[in-house]
Amino acid sequence: MRTQPVILAIDAFLEHVHATYPGVRVFHEDRKDIPHGAEVWRPGPNAQNIDLVVTLGGDGTILHASSLFSSGAVPPVLSFSMGTLGFLLPFHIDDFAKALESVFTRKATILNRMRLACTFYDNNLSKKTAEGDDWQVMNEIALHRGSSPHLNTIDIFVDGQHLTEAVSDGLIVSTPTGSTAYSLSAGGPIVHPSLSALVLTPICPRSLSFRPLVFPSSSVVTLRIGDRSRAPAGVSMDGRTSHVLNPGESVNVQASPFPVPCINRSSIIDSSTAEELQHSEGAGPGTEDDWVRDINNLLQYNATFRSKALLRHSRT
């Protein structure tokens, strides 16, 4: 259920859209709490074409919006934070008027965030899903042992070549966007989201020499549950439980042809600020990197471990 602040923000947003852009039709996914002034929208091959996706909430709302367009191209995504910090939330809800203006005046800039296409196969190498019904994920696909006390044994193939047999709690294949999510917690590298790459990260591997790997986006990574595996592998994609793979079954992971075009925070810079920044150090207006700012502000990248309290009492 939506909280009261979110309901009020949606109402204010819709009121602004109808007043400022009266010719714009607003759609909302089919659910019980559709706000007044929005039409019902259902995903699928016959769905109404959408020109812009707007999300209010946390990073999970963008992942959910991505999942609604799993069979084709994703419209540009304009995402607003409701007080929650996140890598996928460039705008605060208070800036919705400026952000919309940048879109309608064609001043918005976008970052195409890569997605993964995941295809599942049974032990006879037959597809477990219908043709063209691949799963599209924005952050990662994770194979894990779930509630089993036993480690998974997973054979990893890259472009058809056997890479290794992984004995671990599981494996993660992430996008550059997902490299700051589950993969990072498992010890994976931080990858800039403008790159096209697949990041393979083990979860608690038995071997200390099993390190994360980064592959080009042209690679196809196949994860096959080994015949000797003592446990099936649960599959979660962008935090959603989807499948259970038994020994002999597999999943192919590759770059999707349909990225998620996310509108950048730098799109709403005003002319006076732009003139000031034009003569200052660093990136020029409209080109500054949201991601660089985010890894410093959100991850505290390379920050000292000494707390402010310790610094106050330090004699050095």
| Sign of CA pseudo-dihedral 146, 68, 47, 31 | positive
Q: What is the pLDDT of residue 27?
A: 97
Give the count of beta carbons closer than 10 Å to the beta carbon of residue 241: 10
Residue 87: the pLDDT is 77
Tokens 């505290």 correspond to what residue?
300
Q: How far apart are CA 108 and CA 89, in angstroms?
A: 15
Model pLDDT, residue 283: 41
* Non-local CB neighbours of 51 within 8 Å, separated by 6+ positions: 75, 76
Residue with tokens 């039709």: 25
pLDDT of 151-201, one tens digit each? 999 999 999 999 999 999 999 999 999 999 999 999 999 999 999 999 999
pLDDT computed for residue 284 by the predictor? 42
pLDDT at 286: 42
**pLDDT at position 130, please?**
63
Give the pair of three-digit tokens for residue 155. Answer: 């054979």
pLDDT of the residue at 92: 87
Q: Which of 152, 146, 188 is nearest to 167 (CA)?
A: 152
CA distance 179 to 102: 29
Sorted by sequence, the CB contacts under 8 Å of residue 30 that are 6+ apart come out as 40, 41, 42
Q: What is the pLDDT of residue 80?
A: 92
C-alpha–C-alpha distance, residues 214 and 2, integer Å: 38
**Cα separations (Å) of 224 from 123, 164, 169, 221, 229?**
9, 11, 14, 10, 10
Catalytic site residue from 33, 59, 94, 169 = 59
With beta carbons less than 8 A apart as the criterion, state whether 313 and 307 touch: no
The span from the CA of 267 to the CA of 274, in Å, is 11
Residue 21 CA to residue 104 CA, distance in Å, equals 9
**Residue 188 DSSP one-character state:** P
> In whole angstroms, what is the distance from residue 215 CA to residue 229 CA?
25
Tell me, what's the pLDDT at 296? 84
The C-alpha atoms of residue 191 and residue 140 are separated, in whole angstroms, by 13
| Dist CA 263 CA 73 (whole Å) | 15
Phi/psi for 310 (5° steps) reads -70, -40
Whole-model pTM: value is 0.87
Which residues of the chain fall below pLDDT 50? 273-274, 277-288, 315-316
Task: For residue 235, give the nearest of 125, 114, 295, 152 by alpha carbon.
Answer: 152
Neighbouring CB atoms inside 10 A of 2's CB total 15
Q: Would you state the pLDDT for residue 282? A: 41
Q: What is the pLDDT of residue 313?
A: 55
270 as an active site residue: the answer is no
Task: Indicate the angle between helix axes 4-20 and 96-104, nearest 10 degrees.
Answer: 40
CA–CA gap between residue 237 and residue 158 (Å, rounded): 20
Amino acid 240: pLDDT? 86
Q: Name the DSSP letter for residue 127.
A: B
**pLDDT of 241:** 79
